Amino acid sequence: MTILPCLLCGDDLNERRDKHQKPYFVCNPCGVQLFVRRPQGAENLRRLIETLQGRDLPMRAHARTLFVISAILQELNGLEHELEKLERSIGFFSTPSEENTRAQELLKKRMQTLLDDLERIAEGR
């Protein structure tokens, strides 16, 4: 049985076969589906599997890194939305409360920490 790592989370994707015996893969946690429908795709899959045999650990390491990057980007997106909400809550002619200002500072600090994490990942540290 062929097993590939999920591109998003690194979980094992077990090869399945459709009613026409064409291969496909499904990641239950992520919902990622990979279908191979053309002869060239089947050939590329065969070559990929041959290449991956004996190289499982490096591939998993890359998949985990991609997963970490994706999680950081999702958190950054959520923090940006929270910051926008705080900024919208301040009236045009009013000054932000001390609590609002503190919350904005904390959000910006967390965003900078996440950006620093991305920098470290990009530099391979």
Is residue 6 within 8 Å of residue 32, measured between CB atoms? Answer: yes
Read off the pLDDT of residues 74-124 as tens digits, 9 standing for 90 and up: 999 999 999 998 888 877 667 778 888 899 999 999 999 999 999 998 888
User: What SS3 state is found at 102?
Assistant: helix
Q: How far apart are CA 47 and CA 45, in angstroms?
A: 5
Mean pLDDT computed over 21-47: 88
Mean pLDDT computed over 23-52: 85
From residue 63, how far is each of 7, 14, 56, 109 by CA, in Å?
6, 16, 11, 28
This prediction has a pTM of: 0.53
